[in-house]
Every structure is written in structure tokens, then in C-alpha cells.
A and B are shown apart, each in its own frame.
Chain A
């Protein structure tokens, strides 16, 4: 056996010994896990969160049938909302008018500005500089006509109504859904 081959075998033995040591270390880490030294809290927390969310949704759904809890208070019916919804149905004409009023970018921006509180027209003009004064007035008239906005007669402030707030939230949900690629195959 030549000296070169002997040298090569020696290196291979050293490498094998190194690999055996490495395997022992890894085996030790594995035992540690099995003894409970390592827990994947990330997955567990997600699971608990999912369960809690499901329970909360269930409880909220039950409450919704008799009491509606809004962001700042509650709305109460003696009867069940289900009955009211089933009897009511949709006023297609009125809904179409409201949807039509919503179908304009500037009007959505006006509702967005009013979501944080009542505004005088000059305050709206200041916030929505891209809309001219006459166009702004015209948009406000449209929103007011379908009941999404109401104007005070004494002070003149514009306020978003309950239907207006609902319409805005609906538009926001649709926007977010589309942004997230919702509905795409």
C-alpha cells in the first residue's frame, strides 16, 4: 500500500469519527425534545386562537339574534332579528339607488371623511382637495337624497347616517376582499 493511500484512509477515518460524534449530539437533542424541553408554542397558540375565535363567533351569533352590540353600544329588539329580516326582504329600488350613489369614487371618499365625525363643507373641501366645490356639493346632494348623509339645517354640518356607515363598511369589505384576490379561481 502506498503512502498516499494510507494517508487517504487516515483522513477518511477521522471524518467518520467526526460524523459519529455529530450523530451522538443530534441524538441528545432529540431526547431533550421528547422529555418536554422543547415545545412548538407557535402551532399550539394558533390552534388555541382558532378554537377561541370559533367560540366567540358562536356566542356573538347567538347574541345577534336578539341583541345587536355595536361598536359603541347596543341595539335591542324584543323579537328575533331573523323574523324581521325574513319578513322585510329587500326593497330593490331603494337598495339600487343607494348602490348607485356609492358607485362613485369621490362619494366613497366623502363617506370616508365623514366616518370620523361631522364636517362643514369647507372642512370637507380642505380634506378632499381633488374635488371642486361645485362637484362636492353635487355629490353631497346625491348622498343626502338616498339617506347616506344628512345635513344639519341650523349649523350646516354634514353627518354620515346609520345606513351611510353600513354602506361604507360594505364598500370597505368588498375592497379588502378584492385586494386579497377573493373570488379568483
Chain B
């Protein structure tokens, strides 16, 4: 499989206002004003950003079945660096070049910020850190990768009505009226309201999460 070679631009941008970076029916990523962003490029084409600052991730990891809803919404404050690959046009309208004062506010100089951004990009590109998720990088939809503080990355992948989210505790896949939720307790599969629930403790453990 051919892999894209991601590199960072030597530019730091900042958000001029709080805005919704990404939104679909079951997930959204909101970012605060003064969020810093380092563009990611492939062959001089801007394909994403590494973000440093505050944001919020919402994922409705809920499976609707005829026996009732299972799962819960995830609301996560994003304070660690995270990256996005996908359509950058809409996001680019909300960013302007960061000044020295903006960098000072983030208590870092430009080199430190770029190093942190590069660190995240390296982890994302590294096969060991995102083991089993190689296909995501060639996905034509939108890909987010979030640091979870445990030398691993959580992912949100979305394309049309398809959505995949995984973190260290759970995995959630949704495609139209089909959903799968795997938590530490149960695995719930639902298709058009019809459901299948399996006690997760009886399933073989997958060492690499959902991917």
C-alpha cells in the first residue's frame, strides 16, 4: 500500500473566532478562539492541520435498538494536540497568521509549537502508534486523531453517513441505519432497529482496538 508523505508547513495560524470545525449527525468538533494550527501538506497541497489549543469533541456513540438505546454521548474537552486530515477549505476561512503575542499566549515559541505538532504527526504516521489503522490515511473522508495521554491516538473517521470512533474504552461504528458499539461491557449491533447484544467479556480481546 502506498502511503502519503505528510509534512508540516513552517507556518503557525490561529483561529479568529470560535467555530464548528466539523459536524455530522453523530459527531462534531468545535474549536475555541485563538486555537493554533499548523497546516499539513502532501506534495505542496494542504491536506489538514495539527491543532494546539482548546476545543471540544462530541460523539453520540448511541445505538438505537427496539429494546431501547444503548451507549452514551461522549463529550471530551480537547486540550492536547489533535490533527485533522480532509477538506481544509472551510476551516481555512477561520484562520489567520499567528503573531508573537498569540504564541506567547500559548506559552511557547514557534519552534516548540512546531516540534509538538511534528511529534503528533509522527505518531499518526508511525505504524506502531496507529497499528491496524493504515487504511485511514488513504480515506477520502475526514480523519481526526486525538492524543489520549497514553502514547496512543484516538480516532474519528467520517465519510458521508459513515462514522467510526474509537478510544481506549470503546469503539463505535455507524453507517446509515447500521451501528456497532463495543464497550467494556457489551457489544451491541443494530440494523434498522433490530439488535444483537453480546456480553463483551465472552468475546476474544482485540489488542488493537476497533481498527
Contact = CB atoms under 8 A, between A and B. Distances in A.
Contacts of A70: 65-67, 195
Contacts of A165: 67-68
Interface stretch (B36-44, B96-104, B130-138, B197-205): B197-205
Contact of A162 (B26, B60, B68): B68
Contacts of A76: 196-199
B196 A73 contact: yes
B194 A152 contact: no
Nearest to B70: A162
B63 to A, nearest CB: 10
B111 interface: no
Nearest to B191: A73
Contacts of B66: 70-73
Contacts of A163: 68
A166 B66 CA distance: 11
Contact of B69 (A71, A72, A154, A160): A160
Contacts of B67: 70-73, 75, 162, 165
A159 to B, nearest CB: 4
A17 to B, nearest CB: 72
Interface residues of B, number: 31
Given A153-B58, A153-B60, A162 B69 contact: yes
Given A72-B67, A163-B68, A164-B68, A152 B62 contact: yes
Contacts of A71: 66-67
Contacts of B196: 73-76
Nearest to B66: A72
A118 B62 CA distance: 12
B206 to A, nearest CB: 18
A112 B195 CA distance: 21
B62 to A, nearest CB: 6
| Main SS at interface, chain A | mixed
Contact of B64 (A74, A79, A159): A159
A154 B28 contact: yes
A161 B70 contact: yes
Contacts of A161: 68-70
A78 interface: yes
A150 B69 contact: yes
Contacts of B190: 73
Contacts of A72: 65-67, 193-195
Given A76-B196, A153-B58, A162-B67, 17 more contacts: A70-B65, A70-B67, A71-B66, A74-B196, A74-B197, A76-B198, A78-B202, A118-B69, A150-B71, A154-B27, A154-B59, A154-B60, A159-B62, A159-B68, A161-B70, A163-B68, A165-B67
Q: Which 8 A-B pairs have the closest CB atoms?
A: A72-B66, A165-B68, A162-B68, A159-B69, A153-B73, A73-B195, A75-B197, A78-B202
20 contacts: A70-B66, A71-B67, A73-B66, A73-B67, A73-B196, A75-B197, A75-B198, A76-B197, A78-B199, A150-B69, A151-B73, A152-B62, A153-B59, A154-B26, A154-B28, A154-B59, A155-B25, A160-B69, A161-B69, A165-B67
Interface of B: 23-28, 58-60, 62, 64-75, 190, 193-199, 202
